[in-house]
Amino acid sequence: MAVATETPFHVLAVDDSLPDRKLIERLLKTSSFQVTTVDSGSKALEFLGIHGEDSSPPVSVHEDQLEVAVNLIITDYCMPGMTGYDLLKKIKQESTSLRDIPVVIMSSENIPSRINRCLEEGADEFFLKPVRLSDMSKLKPHILKSRCKEHYQQEQHQQSDSSSNECSNTTNSSSSSENSNSRKRKAEDNEEVLPQTNRSRHS
Amino acid sequence: MAAAALREQLNALLASMFASGLVDEQFQQLQMLQDDGSTPGFVAEVVTLFCDDADRIISELAALLEQPVVDFDKVDAYVHQLKGSSASIGAQKVKFTCMQFRQLCQDKNRDGCIMALAVVRNEFYDLRNKFQTMLQLEQQIQAQQ
């Protein structure tokens, strides 16, 4: 049996149906995920710190606040107002690394054109409802894949960054200071690499 | 009544619910998630949420179908919701009726929809009664331990 040595992954679950929200929450918790549930796409965007029209770069300096990284988003397709597909598009339009958070779409309807459209827009997985416990095991690989990619990108940026004019006067390289180089923070070994730009506002 | 006898009653009830197609293996998923140990009240909670949700939807459907001009898109949207949540908890019979109901919506068949609503309502009430009995038995068994 694996010993948990690191913080559990955090999943944001979006579904307008209350029984479904309860179920997905339980499925995720049983699979050792930390869970936040919201009942709409707009609340999901709020949680992620994505603002209405403009997707502004991560400039928050809330280091003292509890920062909650989101490692995966799982959303229902059919929701009033903003569908899961609309939410997916908004996330993928982000200029920050929020767009790299893996997104899973759930739907009770098996419509191939719908599934394809979501996958083409960047969804990592499509679950047919009702979701079962066995579906949960498909989530972690997507999280790990996206974090490997992020780690790699961070290192690439670091190398090209040494001569960049963008470097502001960082007082202490080991502090997690939120500046324009926040995405290029050096990753520590064996430590949970929580991408800074994936932080959501804690309110 | 002794816990063993209550257990027997509960098992018999559950067996009949599965055998008659009232619930399917998705309901077993819920039971499994509860038996995991950490959340003893999980099934009760989800079932209660479903019943409240279904009750609300059925009322909305009744109101919509009473209108002189029926908005079938709205009716369909509600039936879709009910179909979804019934599938999620394993309420098979209700789910199947909802599937037929949706077809009638798409055909804009008002009389058909009214009949389908009556069927869904009956099936839901039957299911709800059985759920209530199930939860009562579970509580009684818990109390004995």
**pLDDT tens digits for B24-41?**
999 999 999 998 777 889
Q: What is the CATH number of domain B1-143?
A: 1.20.120.160
Q: Which residue has the tokens 């997104």?
A: A103
**pLDDT value at A66 more than 90:** no
% of chain A exceeding 70 in pLDDT: 68
Chosen for mutation from B28, B29, B35, B74 (greatest number of chain A CBs closer than 10 Å) is B29
Indicate the residue type of A198. Answer: N
Q: Cβ contacts of residue A107 below 8 Å, gap of 6+?
A: A76, A77, A78, A84, A114, A115, A126, A127, A128, A129
Q: Which residues of A touch B45 (CB under 8 A)?
A: 22
ipTM above 0.95, yes or no: no
Three-class SS state of A111: coil
**pLDDT value at B50 more than 80:** yes
Q: Which residues of B touch A133 (CB under 8 A)?
A: 29, 32-33
Cα separation of the two ends of chain A: 37
* Nearest-angstrom CA–CA distance, A103 and A98: 11
Q: In this complex, do A17 and B26 lie within 8 Å of one another by their Cβ atoms?
A: no
Candidate from A12-16, A18-22, A169-173, B47-51 with smallest mean pLDDT:
A169-173
- Residue B37 has what pLDDT? 72
Using alpha carbons only, how large is chain B's radius of gyration in Å? 17
Q: How far is CA A6 from CA A3, A10, A191, B77, B80, in A?
A: 9, 12, 8, 43, 40
Q: Which residues of A touch B46 (CB under 8 A)?
A: 19, 22-23, 26
Domain spans in chain B, listed from the N-terminal domain onward: 1-143
Q: What sign does the dihedral A170-A171-A173-A177 (CA atoms) show?
A: negative
**pLDDT value at B100 more than 70:** yes
Q: Considering the entire predicted model, what is its pTM?
A: 0.79
Average model confidence (pLDDT) across chain A: 77
| pLDDT average, residue stretch A120-138 | 96
Q: How confident is the model at residue A173 (pLDDT cuts 50, 70, 90)?
A: very low
| pLDDT average, residue stretch A4-18 | 88
**Number of CB atoms found within 10 A of residue A87's CB:** 25
Higher-confidence position of A123 and A171: A123
% of chain A exceeding 90 in pLDDT: 54
What is A188-201 written as a DSSP string? PTTS----GGGEE-
% of chain B exceeding 90 in pLDDT: 89
**pLDDT value at A171 more than 90:** no
* Nearest-angstrom CA–CA distance, A157 and A183: 8
| pLDDT average, residue stretch A138-166 | 77
Chosen for mutation from B42, B88, B94, B124 (greatest number of chain A CBs closer than 10 Å) is B88
Q: Is the peptide bond before A130 cis (omega within 30 degrees of 0)?
A: yes
Three-class SS state of A10: strand
- Residue B99 has what pLDDT? 97
* Nearest-angstrom CA–CA distance, A90 and A116: 17
- Residue A7 has what pLDDT? 82
Contact of A20 with chain B, judged by CB distance below 8 Å, is answered with: yes
